[in-house]
Structure 1
Amino acid sequence: MAIEAILTGGTGQWMDSSDGQHFWFDSGSLALDFSYTGGLDRDGGEWQTVHDAKELNDWLTTRFPEVAPTAGDREFRDASALGSAIGRLARQQSGGATLGPDDVDVVNLFAATPDIPPVLAGGGRQAGRTNARPHQALSTIARDAVRLFSAEADGRIRECSADDCDLVYLDTSRSGNRRWCSMQRCGNRAKVRAHRARAAASAPPASA
């Protein structure tokens, strides 16, 4: 299975850092994108994009237009549990640690429930429910996580190379040499620092 097959669809989302920067972060995986809805970072909370059931409905219906926006407090708690489990597993795999069995169980539990079935357009009859339920979207995300943490992605789940950034992503590039969470953020800052270092090295010495 190629790395690209791990992707369920379009990935990436806008993020806001604690220093006020608004930037696009493509984690490379639907499951990793979802892990950041609950604020996956070392200190907790900085990257949280979903704070309640309404925001969960907004996030899910953006990724899954066929899902009815019916998530309530129960679905929000379940989504938080799944996102947190995926986030911890991602950190463990990025550091080469053994995956936590409790978090693996959480992912497997959600993955075992019915997901959003594929639908072929063009038919004249409506089969099954008109809209999918939020829990079906969570199952689809969990199944993406099962693929994400498979052997095919070994070594491709990484933490941003910037010393002051802890965002984790799946490197889906052909060369496998992605280093930064976002070129708009850490990649650009690294380029600026490198440029300043080169300029300082080539500058003539100050006269006495």
Structure 2
Amino acid sequence: MSGRAGETPDRAPGLTLVSSEGKPYRFDPGALCLELTTTGGPGAFARWEVLHEPADLVAWAGRSRLPAGLDLTVSAEELERARTLRDAVFLLAADRAHGRPPRAAHLDAVNTAAAEPALVARIAPDGSRAWAPGATGTQLLSTVARDAIDLFTGPYGHRVRECGAHNCYLLFVDTSRPGRRRWCAMEHCGNREKVRAHRARTTPPRTP
């Protein structure tokens, strides 16, 4: 993984991640559920874990593509369920990106979370979209899970991709018109891979 959640908040879609070299770059995975996968993952990806306490999930929600102003309370048990849902979405997306069939346990995790009440939207006095106060972690996870269902069953379900860089596993949905997006971010992995390819073409082969 070439970068994980070390985001700075703003309202544009996507997140600002920080590479292993400490360089920030913009990553838009194209879906709320895939934004959650930047917070860690199963197995070897656990080293990127950032959801260590309930406040971390609250902070992630504030940086996500959800409208601002979410009054959210998260319990320790909800945090644990968030990591379970996150890992399931991560593996479902990776399986989809590589043409593998989804696994029942991962589908069950998403469906279980989606069955709970979701966040309640409302219109603020200024006409903007807002959230009803007193939101819970369970409602947040339901909203994320429903977004995953919409993604995997919707018109872009076949466009879930894994970054094409050799050491990056960030997942995104390719919403570009031609459907040819290869990198998590051109300014990060795209440029690095172009440099790598150029060096491979121009470096003379070493003689034994």
Q: Hey, what's the Cα distance between the residues in 1 that align with 2:163 and 2:43? A: 13
Q: Hey, what's the Cα distance between the residues in 1 that align with 2:164 and 2:85? A: 26
Distance 1:129 1:171, change over 3 A: closer
Query: Which of the numbers 73, 80, 105 marks the counterpart of 1:102?
Result: 105
Q: Report what 1:4 is aligned to.
A: none
Contact (CA 8 Å) 1:85, 1:104: kept in 2 or not? yes
Which one-letter code corresponds to 1:18 in the other structure? S
Q: Hey, what's the Cα distance between the residues in 1 that align with 2:143 and 2:19? A: 28
- Please report the TM-score for the alignment, with normalisation by the length of structure 1: 0.78
Q: Hey, what's the Cα distance between the residues in 2 that align with 1:62 and 1:84? A: 19
Q: Deviations over 1:128-174 (max 9, x none)?
A: 95332222111111110001111522331111111222222111111
Query: Which of the numbers 70, 87, 96 marks the counterpart of 1:84?
Result: 87
**Structure 2 unmatched runs, 5+:** 1-10
Cα deviation, residue 86, structure 1: 0.5
Which one-letter code corresponds to 1:81 in the other structure? T
Contact (CA 8 Å) 1:160, 1:181: kept in 2 or not? yes
Query: Which of the numbers 72, 77, 87 marks the counterpart of 1:74?
Result: 77
Cα deviation, residue 175, structure 1: 0.9
- Please report the TM-score for the alignment, with normalisation by the length of structure 2: 0.78
Q: Report what 2:3 is aligned to.
A: none
Distance 1:151 1:60, change over 3 A: closer
Q: Is 1:157 the equivalent of 2:160?
A: yes
Q: Hey, what's the Cα distance between the residues in 1 that align with 2:125 and 2:58? A: 27
Query: Which of the numbers 93, 114, 121 marks the counterpart of 1:118?
Result: 121
Q: Report what 1:206 is aligned to.
A: none
Q: Deviations over 1:165-202 (max 9, x none)?
A: 2222111111100011111211111232344456669x
Superposition pairs of residues 162-201 of structure 1, within 5 angstroms: 162-196=165-199
Which one-letter code corresponds to 2:157 in the other structure? D
Q: Report what 1:31 is aligned to.
A: 33
Q: Report what 2:8 is aligned to.
A: none
Q: Report what 1:3 is aligned to.
A: none
Q: Hey, what's the Cα distance between the residues in 2 that align with 1:42 and 1:160? A: 19
Q: Hey, what's the Cα distance between the residues in 1 that align with 2:12 and 2:24? A: 20
Q: Hey, what's the Cα distance between the residues in 1 that align with 2:177 and 2:34? A: 19
Cα deviation, residue 67, structure 1: 3.0
Cα deviation, residue 66, structure 1: 4.0
Which one-letter code corresponds to 1:76 in the other structure? L
Distance 1:97 1:195, change over 3 A: closer
What SS does the corresponding residue of 1:152 show, helix, strand or coil?
A: coil
Number of aligned residue pairs: 188
Moved more, 84-93 or 42-51: 42-51
Q: Which has the larger radius of gyration?
A: 1
> Sequence identity of aligned pairs in percent?
37
Q: Hey, what's the Cα distance between the residues in 2 that align with 1:156 and 1:192? A: 26
RMSD: 2.6
Distance 1:41 1:94, change over 3 A: farther
